[in-house]
A and B are shown apart, each in its own frame.
Chain A
Amino acid sequence: MYEAVTAEGQTITWRDPKRYFWIGSGIIPLIPVLILPMWGATHWTPIWFFGPFFVFVIIPLLDIAFGLDPNNPPDAIIEMLENDRFYRWVTYLFIPLQIVVFLFACYLLAGGTFWTVTEPLTWVQKLGLATAMGMVAGIGINTAHELGHKKEKLERWYARIALAQTAYGHFYIEHNRGHHVRVATPPDPASSKLGETIYEFLPRTVIGSLKSAWELEKKRLARKGQSPWSFHSDLINAWIFTPILWGTAMAINAAFGLQTWQILPFLVVQAIIGISLLEAVNYLEHYGMKRKMLDSGRYERVNPSHSWNSNNIGTNILLYHLQRHSDHHANPTRRYQALRDFPEAPVLPTGYAGMIVLAYTTPLWRRIMDPKVVAHFDGDISQANLHPRTAEKYLKKYPAPEASREVAA
């Protein structure tokens, strides 16, 4: 319960209805472990592919079942809510769980046995386990995202650790100093364009973000007269956590007399799955959105109309309010528990988890999302972030309102 005095001098009290639900986000790093009892009960090999099933089927169903959550904290409470350390501990909890479960999964990948796993896993079962690890890895990038935005140095180090599993250490540099600066503009590799498929977007964002992160760090280090190839680089001192983590897993396996480097292909697979999961979310967060270029040559400031939101409580709990994306881009350092829903911001038809499934089925995605983008720009898609390859086709298919009136006349 929080109590505060508003600017108008009124005393208000407010209780956060989601407070204890946030602990539920801790289920995510446990996904690979959840498979063990299910395996024990069924001995059915496809159960090892439970990870993607959980994220792409169960979570979207939870979103449909639990519906929307339009609850916003009152303005006067936001600061107190942000300073409540309980919420920080919820995000900190994710990381030790993620690390321990990762090391345990690596032990199983190497042929280790434990509890219901009485025989070393077959390679198909290992592949299934790697997909579950990939789900944790991808959502781990979201945890790193929450922590990497914070001002406290410690939380930025936690972000690096959470990124180790996917070898995506450059993410928190590129995301904060690249993506947030250029969001919803054509040069941003992590903002998808109207007409761009997710299959075109994935390589563009992965390669573009890496290049951009390197350039940003090179520029910063050049001001200090330091080399981009040193531990002064926030990229290198983030990437280093990956060989440390992966190496620790192999060392533990060696101590048990199990395989070591042989698990590498599975580690690569889970990292690719994790990165694809995160980048699929990037794909749907700003699809088609474009900030106007001002006369000064700068883009207009980011406002709530530049991000796609969702108020589905299921995905929101598991992703720390990531779907309240407009407020996040307006106030990037604001802590997740204090992010608000803007009624005027663009809204997706369902939660991010379900939208990822849609994103991967291009024709369905276009049928549902393209009209939403058109409506968002009041029919004038020349204002949208058009993909050069499909721009002409789109402008013909969705003529601006004036143009269509001329045709009718």
Chain B
Amino acid sequence: MSQFICPNCEYVYDEAVGDPHEGWPAGTPFADIDETWTCPDCGVREQVDFIPIEEFVHNDQDGNIISAETRSEASPQ
């Protein structure tokens, strides 16, 4: 059982728990969830945008442009 996280608001989908309110009973594999399902908390990331929690370092709620891809370029080092 794995966990997947929304890179914008850090909502976590835990396969063991599912998200019954959203209609995903406990044990629903993340891969079985619709690709267009939006994060239930922020609404601005979809299933395909989620990342395995082990790969998550920091959310992309920073400066200029919000996409996770540009985060490392955007943050001043």
Contact = CB atoms under 8 A, between A and B. Distances in A.
Interface of A: 7, 75, 78, 151, 176-177, 180-181, 220-224, 301-304, 329-334, 342, 344
Contacts of A176: 43
Interface string B1-29: 00000001101000000001011100000
A347 to B, nearest CB: 16
Contact of A301 (B41, B43, B67): B67
Given A180-B43, A181-B43, A333 B64 contact: no
A331 B66 contact: yes
B75 A332 contact: no
A330 B66 CA distance: 6
B9 A331 contact: yes
Interface in B14-70: 20, 22-24, 38, 40-44, 61-67
A304 B65 contact: yes
Interface of B: 8-9, 11, 20, 22-24, 38, 40-44, 61-67, 75
Contacts, number: 58
A344 B64 contact: yes
B20 to A, nearest CB: 7
Given A176-B43, A333-B42, A342 B64 contact: yes
Given A331-B9, A334-B61, A344-B64, A151 B22 contact: no
B42 A220 contact: no
Contacts of B62: 75
A333 B23 contact: no
Contacts of B24: 223
Given A220-B22, A223-B24, A344-B64, A7 B43 contact: no
A221 B22 CA distance: 8
Nearest to A345: B64
B44 A181 contact: yes
